[in-house]
């Protein structure tokens, strides 16, 4: 480890069009600060708020930092050699028995740098495995623009400085493209207009002069209405139409089918909206029209995009500085793609990523036996999660390379812990601008994490083609980036800062298009019968948009709120008997999800908007709702072809149950236990008597009681005068047939409430410990239904005698009384089943550093090795404990 302070520049490789230049500050080998690089021409010193948080992600207590193998259903630590040997053995066997196409390589969007091209090279050296075709992200738009322009080429974002106005068409840069924000503000400062066209009321609406809210998937009509207005004003670009385009007559014929008012009605906008759009295009030339990814996500997205391209052409914005209909760039464009090695074998099978669940299940010749996943989370991000999960579970062997135990890792047999870009040397391009940037290693790999370059390298070393793969990163970059070097850059120069590719600032400036005729092609067919239809059973179109706070599913378990939020128009919600914060059931033809309702008066009444990316296992999983379809053009994924019904959750069982939570310390929150209760629909009221909150006198108004832990002694009524009334309350809840749960201190108080003595032990019990269920436990309504027990977190110096009439359900070796039932439905849990990664990490770190005053004396009993080991095992320990806790809560709450 390098000591002292360092400042290192690098480039963010996350799935984000900005590809920001970053400056990392490192102190004694540890990353302490990550900010935008002031010298990067597009970043200009401003990176997103997610970047500051990325440091927490790199050092997250949930991050997997050593290889793991699943043995007998449980994750166990393995060495790299064990993991890679096993993978190599399975690959060899499968290739021998079923051929290489029985393996699927699933590359996600998490990181698409130069060296990542080599993954596919590895699989091609193997003989060519099954790969994916199409895209979860952009396909449809590229397909449509290729039809019109011959090839999709966008204006350099720096060219928008020449724009007098801008249209953000299905794009939300305030959340997704921060580098554009100053450029947008600048247009307005110069007196130009910015129009946002989006059915949802996003953060970007605040950046604009006008927000036009078309019906989802119906933008084509709006574009046509604006084109008609321009034509009727005689303001069209005649020269472009006459000399540089084809198909104009067909386009005119399409426009002639309807009047402007009719088109606006079909688009779900007012005529005034179309007039504003047309007037802006006529009076504030040039206009930069920026297409977002929202438009791609329709089956017939090409209709929408082609209509906008045509509007750009009619209004004279094609091949003009400050104009253009721009969409994005190819992140793999500047690299030598022949290193994918696709020509090494005859064409191999591909599966459509848009329908990957179905495609996997239908792949029979040969059946997919192994799936190798890198930088992806298909069990969360691909459509129709239930089907994708079934498909993944039908493969015999899933290898997952990534950072966290996400939905997909949960279904794998091998976990390969990958480095983040901060631990790697590489080169990255961008899908949002024309700069390539250096990925310079900022810190040493965390734990035993390895770059995928190294993983594949060492995997290749186990095969006869090793020599074709084994070269240094530098050597590979020399070849992979040859097209960049040919533009006048070299690796040492690139390591020092971003390099602008030799790409046009303004594409098609010579009005020469790479179409067969060399001309721009107007949309020449339009079949509106193919546009999304209204189904009264599912009245809202579900728009699962980019989350503001994270990139897609890059989160941890602890990051998740109990439920996803879904936004509905305020009036629409009220008409259907729902108000802000209600718990609602969101149903689609393929699945259902519970969510928290948010209302917004500025949103269209026929859409439901939610942020994509929450994990399925955390109760978010919005792709449980989406249909698996493919776009008609470009093999894209029409995520927004899903319509949903939203209704209040039926008030039964836990739903709507009011639960009193008594908290004893800010360091011991309700964690997973309380989150899960909320997820099931309970309404929690938390009181902290030690901070002056009044304890309710009777159970009236609450259907259940949860008493949390804290450092107090259960026998010390002097320090905690509320113990006596609290114990009475615990008995009264139970007597009234209302379930009680006591955790740690709460467990001891429950024992005392029924006459059990509480006392201080010889030492402190700390860490994750495995206990056993007693015979009574096996027969118990709650514990009997959640066996086997994973290791569970302990942090206590007191214990208790079982009260008379109590049943011991879980017994420990060093401290026997771990879980009991008393009365009819009162449960005491000595272990902290509620911990999530944050709570556990806080306790481990605080305890080790002597921060928890009265426990400091015990820390010495636990050596340094103990703390290192527990921190290393924490991600899995917490994941197991959390999954178990959720089952316990469901069983406990069933009595509500």
Ligand X SMILES: Nc1nc2c(c(=O)[nH]1)N[C@H]1C(S)=C(S)[C@@H](COP(=O)(O)OP(=O)(O)OC[C@H]3O[C@@H](n4cnc5c(=O)[nH]c(N)nc54)[C@H](O)[C@@H]3O)O[C@H]1N2
CA distance 678 to 701: 17
DSSP string, 526-573: --GGGS---BTTB-EEEEEEPPSSSSTT---GGG--SS-EEEEEHHHH
Q: 437 is in the binding site of which of ligand SF4, ligand X, Mo ion, none (Cβ under 5 to 8 A by kind)? A: none
3-state secondary structure of 451: coil
Strand, coil or helix: 602: coil
Work out whether strand 607-611 and strand 540-545 pair parallel, antiparallel, or are unpaired. Answer: parallel
Burial 358-386, CB ≥16 within 10 A → b, else e:
bbbbebeebebbbbbbbbbbbbbbbbbbb
How far apart are alpha carbons 882 and 893 in whole angstroms?
Answer: 16
How far apart are the C-alpha atoms of 892 and 325, rounded to whole Å? Answer: 57
Question: If you write DSSP's letter for every residue of 621-668 in order, what string do you get?
Answer: -GGGT------TTTT---TT--EEEEEEPP--TTTT-EEEEE---TTS
Residue from the set 172, 245, 288, 385 that interacts with ligand X by CB under 6 A: 172
Judged by CB, which is closer to ligand SF4: 511, or 548? 548
Residue 19 interacts with which of ligand X, ligand SF4, Mo ion, none, CB < 5 to 8 Å by class: ligand SF4
Report in angstroms how near the CB of residue 859 gets to ligand X at its nearest: 34
546 binds ligand X (CB under 6 A): yes
Residue 563 contacts residue 594 (beta carbons within 8 Å): yes
Do the Cβ atoms of 31 and 422 come closer than 8 Å?
A: yes
Q: x/- contact string, 623-652, with ligand X (CB under 6 A)?
A: x--x------------xx------------
Residue whose Cβ sits closest to ligand X: 294
The answer to the question of residue 126 lying near Mo ion (CB under 5 A) is no
Which x/- pattern over 36-65 shows residues binding ligand SF4 (rule: CB under 6 A)? -----------xx-xx--------------
Which helix H or strand E contains 358, and what residues bound it?
helix 356-362
342: partner contacted, choices Mo ion, ligand SF4, ligand X, none (Cβ within 5-8 A by kind): none
Binding-site residue total for ligand X (CB under 6 A)? 59
Tell me whether residue 556 or residue 570 sits nearer to ligand SF4 (CB atom).
556
10 binds ligand SF4 (CB under 6 A): no
In angstroms, give the least distance from the CB of 500 to Mo ion: 24
The 3-state DSSP class for residue 729 equals helix
Q: Lay out the site mask for ligand X across 355-374 (x = CB under 6 A, - = otherwise).
A: -------------------x
Q: Is residue 430 within 8 Å of residue 329, measured between CB atoms?
A: yes
**Three-state SS annotation for 161-226:** HHCCEEEEECCCHHHHCCCHHHHHHHHHHCCCCEEEECCCCCHHHHHCCEEECCCCCCHHHHHHHH
CB 93 within 8 A of CB 100: no
- For residue 859, state whether it binds ligand SF4 (rule: CB under 6 A): no
* Residue 137 binds ligand SF4 (CB under 6 A): no
Binding partner of residue 219 among ligand SF4, ligand X, Mo ion, none, CB cut-off 5 to 8 Å per kind? ligand X
Applying CB under 5 A, the span of 129-137, 240-248, 416-424, 669-677 interacting with Mo ion comes to 129-137
Using the minimum distance from each CB to ligand X, give the nearer residue, 170 or 282: 170
Chosen from Mo ion, ligand X, ligand SF4, none, partner binding at 216 (C-beta under 5 to 8 Å by type): ligand X
Is 7 within 8 Å of 23 (Cβ atoms)? yes
List the strands of the sheet with 772-773, edge to edge.
683-687, 658-662, 704-707, 740-743, 826-829, 817-822, 807-811, 772-773
Of residues 537 through 556, those in contact with ligand SF4 by CB under 6 A are 551
Binding marks (x or -) toward ligand X, 100..119, rule CB under 6 A?
Answer: --------xxxx--------
Assess 626 for contact with ligand SF4 (CB under 6 A).
no
Binding test (CB under 6 A) with ligand SF4, winner from 178, 264, 307, 373: 178
Note whether 375 binds ligand X by CB under 6 A.
Answer: yes
Q: Which does 376 bind (CB under 5 to 8 A by kind): ligand SF4, Mo ion, ligand X, none?
A: ligand X
**For the window 389-418, what string marks contact with ligand X as x by the rule CB under 6 A?**
------------xxx--x-----------x
Contact 404, 373 (CB under 8 A): no
Closest CA to 768 of 859, 675, 870: 870
The H or E element containing residue 90 is helix 80-98
137, 205, 263, 375: which one contacts Mo ion (CB under 5 A)? 137
Q: Minimum distance between the CB of residue 440 and ligand SF4, rounded to whole angstroms?
A: 15
Q: Which is nearer to ligand X, 22 or 833 (CB)?
A: 22
Task: Confirm if 282 and 315 have CB atoms less than 8 A apart.
Answer: yes
Nearer residue to ligand X within complex by CB, 268 or 803: 268
CB of 32 or CB of 857, closer to ligand SF4: 32
d(CA 747, CA 77): 33
The verdict on 304 binding ligand SF4 (CB under 6 A) reads: no
Give the residue with the Cβ less far from ligand SF4, 18 or 616: 18
Which of ligand SF4, Mo ion, ligand X, none lies near 131, with the C-beta cut-off 5 to 8 A by kind?
none
**Among residue numbers 433 through 462, which ones bind ligand X (CB under 6 A)?**
452
How much of the chain is helix, strand and coil, in % rounded to 5? 35, 20, 45
385 in contact with ligand SF4 (CB under 6 A): no
Q: What are phi and psi of 263, to 5 degrees?
A: -60, -40
β-pairing, 658-662 vs 643-648, is: unpaired
Using CB under 6 A, which of 75, 121, 293, 538 touches ligand X? 293
Confirm or reject binding of residue 381 to ligand X (CB under 6 A).
yes
Which of the choices Mo ion, ligand X, ligand SF4, none does residue 610 contact, using the CB cut-off of 5 to 8 A by kind?
Answer: none
Q: Which of residues 647-686 bind ligand SF4 (CB under 6 A)?
A: none
Between residues 317 and 451, which has the closer beta carbon with respect to ligand X?
451
Q: What's CA 40's distance to the chain center, in Å?
A: 27
Residue 20's binding partner among Mo ion, ligand X, ligand SF4, none (Cβ under 5 to 8 angstroms by kind) is ligand SF4
The entry of ligand SF4, ligand X, Mo ion, none that residue 178 binds, CB within 5 to 8 Å by partner kind: ligand SF4
Stretch near ligand X under the rule CB under 6 A, chosen from 249-257, 292-300, 471-479, 759-767? 292-300
Shortest Cβ 588–ligand X spacing (Å): 11
- Partner whose footprint covers residue 120, from ligand X, Mo ion, ligand SF4, none (CB < 5 to 8 Å by kind): none
Q: How far is the CB of 351 from ligand X (least distance, A)?
A: 14
* Residue among 544, 517, 331 nearest 426 (CA): 331
Q: Which of 612, 620, 771, 832 binds ligand X (CB under 6 A)?
A: 612
Q: Tell me the β-bridge partners of 773.
A: 810
C-alpha–C-alpha distance, residues 395 and 360, integer Å: 9
Contact status: 12 vs ligand SF4 (CB under 6 A): yes
Distance of CA 126 to the CA centre of its chain: 32
- Determine the size of the site formed for ligand SF4 (CB under 6 A): 12
Closer residue to Mo ion in complex, CB, 137/184: 137
810: cis peptide before it, omega within 30°? no
Residue 12 CB, shortest distance to ligand SF4, in Å, is 3
Nearest one of 323, 340, 333, 338 to 501, comparing CA atoms: 333
**Positions in the binding site for ligand SF4 (CB under 6 A):** 12, 14, 16, 18-20, 47-48, 50-51, 178, 551
**Positions in the binding site for ligand X (CB under 6 A):** 15-17, 108-111, 136-137, 169-172, 175-177, 197-200, 202, 214, 216-217, 219, 292-295, 297, 374-378, 381, 401-403, 406, 418, 452, 543-548, 551-554, 612-613, 622-623, 626, 639-640
């Amino acid at each position: 480890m390098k000591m002292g302070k360092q400042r290192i520049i690098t480039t963010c490789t996350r799935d984000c069009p900005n590809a920001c230049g970053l400056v990392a500050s490192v102190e004694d080998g540890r990353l302490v600060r990550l900010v935008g690089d002031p010298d990067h021409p597009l970043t200009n010193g401003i990176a997103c708020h997610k970047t500051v948080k990325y440091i927490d992600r790199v050092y997250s207590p949930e991050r997997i930092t050593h290889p793991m193998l699943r043995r007998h259903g449980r994750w166990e630590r393995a060495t790299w050699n064990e993991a890679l040997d096993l993978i190599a053995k399975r690959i060899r066997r499968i290739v021998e028995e079923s051929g290489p196409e029985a393996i699927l390589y699933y590359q996600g969007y998490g990181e698409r740098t130069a060296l990542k091209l080599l993954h596919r090279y590895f699989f091609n050296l193997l003989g060519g495995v099954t790969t994916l075709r199409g895209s979860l992200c952009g396909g449809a738009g590229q397909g449509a623009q290729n039809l019109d322009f011959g090839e999709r080429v966008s204006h350099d974002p720096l060219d928008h400085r020449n724009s007098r106005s801008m249209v953000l068409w299905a794009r939300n840069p305030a959340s997704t493209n921060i580098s554009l924000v100053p450029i947008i503000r600048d247009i307005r400062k110069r007196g130009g207009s910015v129009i946002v066209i989006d059915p949802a009321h996003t953060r970007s609406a605040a950046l604009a002069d006008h927000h036009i809210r078309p019906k989802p998937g119906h933008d084509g009509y709006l574009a046509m209405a604006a084109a008609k207005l321009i034509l009727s004003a005689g303001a069209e670009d005649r020269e472009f139409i006459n000399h540089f385009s084809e198909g104009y007559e067909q386009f005119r014929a399409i426009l002639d089918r309807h009047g402007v008012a009719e088109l606006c009605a079909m688009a779900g906008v007012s005529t005034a909206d179309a007039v504003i759009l047309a007037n802006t295009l006529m009076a504030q030339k040039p206009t930069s029209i920026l297409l977002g990814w929202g438009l791609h996500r329709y089956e017939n997205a090409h209709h929408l995009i082609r209509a906008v391209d045509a509007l750009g052409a009619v209004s004279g914005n094609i091949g003009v500085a400050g104009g253009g209909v721009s969409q994005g760039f190819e992140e793999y464009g500047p690299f030598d793609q022949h290193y994918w090695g696709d020509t090494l074998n005859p064409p191999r099978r591909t599966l459509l990523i848009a329908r990957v669940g179905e495609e996997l299940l239908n792949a029979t010749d040969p059946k997919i036996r192994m799936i190798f996943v890198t930088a992806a989370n298909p069990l969360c991000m691909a459509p129709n999660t239930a089907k994708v999960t079934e498909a993944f579970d039908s493969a015999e062997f899933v290898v997952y390379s990534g950072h966290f135990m996400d939905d997909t890792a949960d279904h794998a047999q091998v976990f390969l812990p990958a480095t983040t870009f901060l631990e790697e040397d590489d080169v990255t391009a961008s899908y949002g601008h024309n700069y390539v940037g250096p990925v310079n290693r900022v810190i040493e790999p965390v734990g035993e994490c390895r770059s995928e370059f190294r993983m594949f390298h060492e995997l290749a070393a186990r095969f006869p083609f090793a020599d074709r793969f084994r070269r240094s990163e530098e050597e590979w970059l020399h070849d992979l980036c040859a097209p960049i070097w040919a533009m006048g850059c070299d690796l040492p120069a690139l390591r020092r800062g971003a390099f602008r590719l030799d790409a046009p600032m303004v594409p098609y400036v010579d009005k020469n298009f790479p179409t067969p005729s060399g001309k721009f092609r107007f949309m020449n067919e339009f079949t509106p019968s193919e546009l999304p239809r209204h189904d009264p059973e599912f009245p809202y179109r579900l728009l699962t948009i980019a989350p503001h706070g994270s990139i897609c599913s890059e989160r941890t378990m602890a990051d998740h709120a109990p439920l996803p939020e879904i936004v509905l128009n305020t009036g629409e919600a009220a008409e259907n008997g729902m108000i802000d914060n209600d718990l609602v059931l969101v149903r689609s033809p393929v699945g259902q999800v519970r969510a928290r309702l948010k209302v917004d008066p500025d949103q269209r009444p026929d859409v439901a908007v939610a942020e994509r990316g929450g994990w399925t296992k955390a109760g978010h999983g919005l792709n449980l709702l989406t249909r698996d379809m493919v776009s008609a053009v470009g093999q894209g994924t029409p995520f927004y072809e899903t319509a949903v019904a939203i209704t209040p959750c039926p008030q039964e069982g836990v739903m709507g149950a009011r639960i009193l939570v008594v908290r004893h310390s800010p360091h011991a929150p309700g964690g997973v236990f309380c989150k899960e209760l909320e997820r099931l629909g309970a309404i929690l009221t938390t009181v902290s008597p030690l901070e002056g909150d009044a304890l309710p006198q009777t159970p009236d108004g609450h259907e259940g009681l949860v008493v949390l832990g804290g450092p107090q002694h259960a026998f010390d009524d002097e320090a905690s005068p509320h113990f006596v009334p609290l114990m009475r309350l615990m008995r009264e809840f139970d007597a009234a047939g209302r379930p009680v749960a006591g955790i740690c201190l709460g467990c001891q108080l429950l024992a005392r409430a029924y006459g059990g003595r509480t006392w201080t032990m010889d030492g402190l019990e700390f860490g994750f410990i495995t206990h056993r269920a007693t015979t009574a436990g096996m027969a118990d309504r709650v514990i009997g239904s959640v066996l086997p027990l994973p290791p569970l977190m302990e942090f206590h110096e007191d214990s208790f005698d079982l009260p008379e009439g109590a049943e011991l359900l879980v017994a420990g070796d060093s401290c026997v009384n771990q879980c009991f039932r008393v009365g009819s439905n009162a449960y005491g849990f000595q272990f902290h089943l509620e911990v999530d990664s944050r709570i556990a990490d806080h306790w481990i770190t605080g305890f080790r550093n002597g921060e928890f005053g009265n426990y400091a004396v015990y820390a010495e009993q636990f050596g340094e090795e103990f703390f290192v080991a527990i921190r290393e095992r924490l991600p899995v320990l917490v994941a197991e404990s959390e999954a178990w806790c959720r089952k316990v809560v469901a069983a406990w709450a069933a009595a509500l």
